[in-house]
Copies of this chain bind each other. A is one copy, B any other.
Amino acid sequence: MDSAAETQTPIQEAWALLGRLFWDMRPRMIRVAADVGLTPPQLFALRMLDPDEPVPMRALAAALSCDSSNVTGLVDGLEAQGLVERREAEHDRRIRLLVVTPRGNDVRERMLAVVQQVPEALQELGADDQRALRDILQRALG
């Protein structure tokens, strides 16, 4: 049994820890969706919409990594609750633009307030670690 073969590199260890961190967010996501009257997929859809800029159905399907026929149903659900509206695009009448209603934006903001809550484990880091974490992630993703 070669123990060296099973030794993870630092970044592999980091990735595994991040996996745990995000998996632990699952119950929170399920709960907040229910709290605002949405299913998790509907929550993700509303999350991807832009309150300031109408989004074509097509773009939402791409953002959700799913088929456009699926988006039809998700948007039907959101529209039935008055959270989004379909609007025709002026320059291309094939396209339906998704507009977040004021009520939809209210739900969206309440949902985001929970989703964006920093997990306790990260909040308990020292100020130096918190800044270092941000800096490293900005170098990687920024």
Contacts and interface: CB of A to CB of B under 8 A. Distances in A.
Contacts of A122: 11, 14-15, 140
Interface residues of A, number: 41
B11 A133 contact: yes
Contacts of A26: 65
A134 interface: yes
How many identical chains are in the complex? 2
Contact of A10 (B9, B12, B131): B131
A130 B65 contact: no
A50 interface: no
A115 B15 CA distance: 10
Contacts of A130: 9-11, 14
Given A11-B134, A119-B15, A65 B140 contact: no
Given A10-B131, A11-B123, A133-B133, 16 more contacts: A10-B127, A10-B133, A11-B125, A11-B133, A12-B118, A13-B134, A13-B138, A14-B118, A14-B133, A15-B116, A15-B118, A18-B18, A19-B116, A21-B137, A22-B22, A129-B140
